[in-house]
Amino acid sequence: MKMIFRWFGEHDDSISLKEIAQIPQVEGIAGFLSDIPAGAVWPKQRIHKLKKRVNEHKLRLEVIESVNIHESIKLGSENRDQYIENYIQTIKNLSKFGIKVICYNFMPVFDWLRSDLQEELADGSRVMSYDGKKVDRVNPLYLIEEYEEGAQGFSLPGWEPERLNELENLLEKYKVVDEEQLFVNLKYFLQKIIPVCEQENVKMAIHPADPPWDVFGIPRIAVGKQNLQRIINLVDSEYNGLTLCSGSLGANPENNIPEMIHYFGSRKRIHFAHIRNLKYTGPEKFVETAHPSSEGDLDIYEIMKAYHDIDFQGYVRPDHGRMIWGEQGRPGYGLYDRALGAAYLSGLWEAICKNNK
């Protein structure tokens, strides 16, 4: 298991590579070029620059989170082939600089979604939370207007203005795309790119839908074991794999995370592990918590144990953390609580390894 840390780049992350390099056991980052729009080719010189910078801090850059998929690919539009070509070129460019895993998602229009980005817990820390009832009352277009005005409560971080303007148009197009059509469109994409991934030795790792259910009536397919089985079988190759995110999948209590790790891990389809804890507060309602098992409803020891059972050799990172000790920053992506998470996960891992020698 290789412990890494997500980094959004020097212009989009308040945390420095120096700080990340000081976290015990963290050996690399999951990197991103935030200014390159979905659908565009990642230029070689930009990847090179990023890699150099990361390596200067004795950290490795072998995972990208994420190379986003253009909506036309998810929609199956006529112009998708050009965007798939661009994606293939990006895979080739990343491969040249030693990238081994690309995390991506196939969630239409809305990426991850929360109803509150800074809910205060009893101890004064702040976390992201989700309340399906709140979300159901929202018209997605209205939600975007709220966001543009900077209103508190609902927001969609990471949404660039062009995408916001496109929203009404996009929502209209998705009216005819159901779950089955999304599978068809994902298969078309994977059939084109996976042979290139095999040649270039870059593994694709789809991130589950977060939360793992339909939002605003738009289908989301990477939601549970059965659908993930379907996805890895769309193209039967080790290069068509998963980012197994405990917090995303775990938001549905029916998803048994250790069992999924055993199932997909023994088939060599987990390339990237995201580990996060949460507490259920009602149906389709949860708050994110600190990583330890005692803080939430997921048993993180059992999750780490499952990774040990399958002899997991891939990448792992602490996922969303709380905002603590007065830290301000990107919700879920502060330094302190994620560093505590990394140390806790490394501690569990050491204990499990030594106990099972």
**CB of residue 279 to Mn ion, shortest distance in Å:** 17
CB of 245 to Mn ion, least distance (A): 3
The tokens describing 41, both together, are: 């080719």
| Identified catalytic residue from 103, 104, 245, 336 | 245
Helix ranges (DSSP H) in the chain: 17-21, 44-56, 71-75, 80-96, 132-136, 140-148, 161-173, 179-200, 225-234, 246-250, 257-266, 300-309, 336-355
Peptide bond into 157 cis (omega under 30): no
Q: In angstroms, what is the minimal distance from the CB of 209 to Mn ion?
A: 11
31-39, 61-69, 129-137, 268-276 -> range binding Mn ion (CB under 5 A) = 268-276
144 vs 242, beta carbon nearer Mn ion: 242
Distance of alpha carbon 295 from alpha carbon 179, whole angstroms: 35
The nearest distance, CB 244 to Mn ion, in angstroms, is: 9
Q: Which of 70, 207, 271, 291 is catalytic?
A: 207
CB of 270 to Mn ion, least distance (A): 13
Q: Taking CB under 5 A as the rule, which mask of x and - marks residues 315-334 in contact with Mn ion?
A: ----x---------------
CB closer to Mn ion, 100 vs 276: 276
Min dist CB 230 to Mn ion, Å, is 20
Residues ≥6 apart with Cβ < 8 Å to 350: none
Phi and psi at residue 308, in whole multiples of 5°?
-65, -45
Q: Which is nearer to Mn ion, 84 or 278 (CB)?
A: 278
Active site residue 197: no
Residues 190 to 229: which contact Mn ion by CB under 5 A? none
**Could you identify the residue written with the tokens 């980005």?**
117
* Binding-site member from 245, 260, 273, 348 for Mn ion (CB under 5 A): 245
Give the active site residue among 333, 336, 337, 344: 333
What would you measure as the largest C-alpha separation in the chain, in angstroms? Answer: 57
Structure tokens belonging to residue 114: 């929360």
Q: State how far the Cα of 126 lies from the Cα of 141, in Å rounded to an integer.
A: 27
Partner residues linked to 278 by β-bridges = 288
Radius of gyration of the chain (CA): 19
| Per rule CB under 5 A, count of chain residues that contact Mn ion | 3
Cα distance between residue 248 and residue 164, in whole Å? 24
Which residue out of 319, 336, 337, 344 is catalytically annotated? 319
**Minimum CB distance to Mn ion, residue 316 (Å):** 11
Q: By CB under 5 A, which span of 36-44, 138-146, 266-274, 324-332 interacts with Mn ion? A: 266-274
Minimum CB distance to Mn ion smaller for 80 or for 322:
322
Long-range contacts of 11-15 (CB under 8 A, 24+ apart): 11/35, 13/330, 13/333, 14/328, 14/329, 14/330, 15/329, 15/333, 15/334, 15/335
- Whether 315 is a known active-site residue: answer no
Question: Are 128 and 229 spatial neighbours (Cβ–Cβ below 8 Å)?
Answer: no
Residues 320, 336, 337, 344: which is the catalytic one?
320
Taking CB under 5 A as the criterion, the residue among 100, 203, 274, 305 binding Mn ion is 274
CA separation for the pair 214, 266 (Å, rounded) = 29
Q: Establish whether 319 is a catalytic residue.
A: yes
- Rule CB under 5 A: which of 158-197 touch Mn ion? none
Nearer to Mn ion, 75 or 298 (CB): 298
Q: Does 70 bind Mn ion (CB under 5 A)?
A: no
Q: Which residues contact 17 (CB under 8 A, 6 or more apart)?
A: 7, 29, 53, 54, 56, 57, 59
Q: Which is nearer to Mn ion, 83 or 318 (CB)?
A: 318
Which CB, 50 or 128, lies closer to Mn ion?
128
Which residues participate in catalysis according to the annotation? 207, 245, 274, 319-320, 333
User: Which chain residues interact with Mn ion by CB under 5 A?
Assistant: 245, 274, 319
